[in-house]
Amino acid sequence: MKDYAQIRQEVEKTLQELSLWKGEPQALYLPAVYALGQGGKRIRPVLALMACQLFGKECSQALMPAVGLEVFHNFTLLHDDVMDKAAVRHGLPTVHVKWNANTAILSGDAMFAAASSLVAKAPQECLSAVLDAFHRLALGVCEGQQYDMNFETQTTVSMAEYMEMIRLKTAVLIAGSLEIGALCAGASASDVKCLYNYGNQIGLAFQLQDDWLDLYADEAKFGKRIGGDIRENKKTYLYIRAIENLDAEDRRKLEQWFSTATTKENETEKIAAVKALFEKANAHNACQEAVNQLFAQAETDLKSLASHVDAPALQELQSFTANLLGREF
């Protein structure tokens, strides 16, 4: 069994050594190398490999599909950053800022093609199932991004709509990574489903935690400025819960702030005022409570595996996801 550090190292090494990135024209491949070189926790391939080794198989069985999932994730970031006009990621200029929008579009497309070709290196006996999972998650992520963009111009977004959006935009890729890792190991359909459900809860929790961290994170550690979602009038869990919980007058105030563009002059006041309204509505605690519930549900989902998977490998997976969510394990 490999631990997180070992798995992560194998993912990094494989990503770096892909001969693809050395191809011509370099104008196409350099932005991919740049985006993939920015690190991060490599959550998706790590989850795929951790799922694979649960079933007593070598990680190498799922290595190429796992790396493909990381390339896919980074492709979505290139395109999302164009669509969302995001200028900074991991503290560095995004591809469309460092180069231009056309580069981000086309290098992203090449990354999607490369990701598909890596996923297609799954073991022959599970290839169709892996591809099916990959195409489902790829379409899901597009659907999620579309809902997210729709929400920008939609006056009201219900909590159910929001949860469905983050399920598609974030959770299906987390769940799909576990699914693909398990499929590569030849896991049974019920075990695959169990890991998918686990990943779905973890993915939802991860996004809600991210919504909460927008206001309560340690700024240095979080890597982005506090209040970014408020600055962009983003309808997150905190906003939607607050709208639900506040009385008519406060709701009107909150809606007022969210229909006002953020400027250098108003931003300090705006973030403080919105934060106060969120807290008045108890949205911040509701958010933490939701994360806790999802995390507990995820742990329960995993129980049926405990009887027949590799125990240290299961512990490694649980401790990794707990760590992701800042929870104790």
By the criterion CB under 8 A, which residues form the site for a copy of itself? 20, 23-25, 27-28, 79, 82-83, 101-102, 105-106, 109-110, 112-114, 116-117, 120, 124, 127-128, 131-132, 135, 138-139, 142-143, 145-147, 149-150
Nearer to a copy of itself, 79 or 167 (CB): 79
Amino acid at 197: N
- As given in the structure block, the two tokens for residue 70 are 């990381």
Nearer to a copy of itself, 111 or 277 (CB): 111
Q: CA angle, 272 as apex, 213 and 255 as ends, to 5°? A: 90
3-state secondary structure at position 47: helix
Query: In the chain, which residue ranges form alpha helices assigned H by DSSP?
Result: 4-17, 26-36, 43-54, 63-83, 95-98, 101-119, 127-153, 159-166, 172-184, 189-216, 219-222, 228-231, 237-245, 248-258, 267-280, 283-306, 311-324
- As a whole number of angstroms, the distance between CA 249 and CA 253 comes to 6
**Shortest spacing between CB 97 and a copy of itself, in angstroms:** 16
Nearer to a copy of itself, 99 or 222 (CB): 99
Estimate to the nearest angstrom the gap between the alpha carbon of 282 and the chain centroid.
25
Burial tier of 298 (Cβ tally within 10 Å: 0-12, 13-18, 19+): buried
**Shortest spacing between CB 206 and a copy of itself, in angstroms:** 22
Which residues on adjacent β-strands are paired with residue 88?
93
- As given in the structure block, the two tokens for residue 53 are 């080794």
- As a whole number of angstroms, the distance between CA 193 and CA 191 comes to 5
- As a whole number of angstroms, the distance between CA 47 and CA 154 comes to 34
Q: Which residues, 6+ apart, have CB-to-CB distance to 137 below 8 Å? A: 172, 173, 175, 176
Nearer to a copy of itself, 102 or 315 (CB): 102
**Shortest spacing between CB 225 and a copy of itself, in angstroms:** 24
Amino acid at 153: T
**Shortest spacing between CB 150 and a copy of itself, in angstroms:** 6
**Shortest spacing between CB 123 and a copy of itself, in angstroms:** 11
Nearer to a copy of itself, 3 or 132 (CB): 132
Are the C-beta atoms of 130 and 183 separated by less than 8 Å? Answer: yes
Nearer to a copy of itself, 80 or 301 (CB): 80
**Shortest spacing between CB 313 and a copy of itself, in angstroms:** 29
**Shortest spacing between CB 204 and a copy of itself, in angstroms:** 19
Nearer to a copy of itself, 1 or 127 (CB): 127
Nearer to a copy of itself, 25 or 91 (CB): 25
**Shortest spacing between CB 26 and a copy of itself, in angstroms:** 9
Closest CA to 79 of 7, 133, 138: 138
Nearer to a copy of itself, 46 or 77 (CB): 77
**Shortest spacing between CB 79 and a copy of itself, in angstroms:** 6
- As a whole number of angstroms, the distance between CA 329 and CA 270 comes to 37
Tokens 């951790």 belong to residue: 50
